[in-house]
């Protein structure tokens, strides 16, 4: 009998500015990972903590990773299984299901770089799709380009 794969659930914020560019961050792989993980681009977000609902997790992650304390609105966009896996304490790996939400932030919100990242940029959707292809499958990146 085949073993079922274990998955963790994360929420991600697809944030666009007034000209339609997407906010992307370059992950600091030394922050959370050890070993042969290479740098990759991502959008703000993270895993849902025990006792949190989607809205609470999304707001917490956006604030932690961007410094933005107010989300004007959010709307479900897509859900995918990430190309990345999460290492577990027992040496095994967990899959990662990402629920992606279009998030609207205040127009003049200032973005702060968190300790989890080494770079941040606003890029057009085609460039965002290219940069995010390491972590996100085509089911998501094709929606951007």
Q: Which domain holds residue 96?
A: 7-144
Q: With respect to residue 28, please indicate whether it lies within any of the assigned structural domains.
A: yes
Task: Check whether 142 has a pLDDT greater than 90.
Answer: yes
Give the pLDDT confidence score for residue 102 in this predicted structure: 97
Q: With respect to residue 1, please indicate whether it lies within any of the assigned structural domains.
A: no
Give the pLDDT confidence score for residue 29 in this predicted structure: 73
Mean of per-residue pLDDT scores for the chain: 91
Alpha-carbon distances of 11 from 26, 44, 61, 91, 112, rounded to whole Å: 17, 9, 8, 24, 19
Task: Check whether 34 has a pLDDT greater than 70.
Answer: no
Task: Check whether 121 has a pLDDT greater than 70.
Answer: yes
Q: How far apart are the C-alpha atoms of 15 and 22, rounded to whole Å?
A: 6
Q: With respect to residue 26, please indicate whether it lies within any of the assigned structural domains.
A: yes
Q: With respect to residue 113, please indicate whether it lies within any of the assigned structural domains.
A: yes
Task: Identify the sign of the CA torsion 27, 143, 53, 70.
Answer: positive
Task: Identify the sign of the CA torsion 16, 22, 27, 32.
Answer: positive
In the chain, the number of structural domains is: 1
Give the pLDDT confidence score for residue 37 in this predicted structure: 65
Q: With respect to residue 104, please indicate whether it lies within any of the assigned structural domains.
A: yes
Domain with residue 90: its CATH number is: 3.90.79.10
pLDDT tens string 50-103: 999 999 999 999 999 999 999 999 999 999 999 998 888 888 889 999 999 999
Task: Check whether 7 has a pLDDT greater than 70.
Answer: yes
Picking from 118, 128, 138, the residue whose alpha carbon sits closest to that of residue 38 is 118
Q: With respect to residue 2, please indicate whether it lies within any of the assigned structural domains.
A: no
Q: With respect to residue 31, please indicate whether it lies within any of the assigned structural domains.
A: yes
Which DSSP helix (H) or strand (E) runs through 67? none
């Amino acid at each position: 009998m085949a073993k079922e794969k274990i998955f963790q659930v994360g929420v991600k914020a697809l944030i666009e500015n007034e000209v339609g560019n997407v906010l992307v961050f370059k992950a600091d792989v030394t922050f959370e990972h050890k070993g042969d993980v290479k740098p990759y681009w991502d959008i703000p977000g993270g895993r849902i903590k025990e006792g949190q609902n989607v809205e609470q997790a999304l707001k917490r992650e956006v604030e932690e990773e961007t410094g933005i304390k107010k989300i004007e609105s959010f709307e479900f966009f897509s859900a995918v299984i990430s190309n990345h896996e999460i290492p577990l304490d027992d040496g095994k790996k967990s899959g990662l299901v990402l629920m992606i939400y279009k998030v609207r932030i205040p127009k003049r919100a200032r973005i702060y770089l968190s300790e989890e990242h080494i770079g941040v940029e606003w890029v057009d959707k085609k460039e965002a799709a290219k940069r995010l292809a390491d972590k996100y499958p085509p089911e998501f990146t094709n929606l951007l380009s």
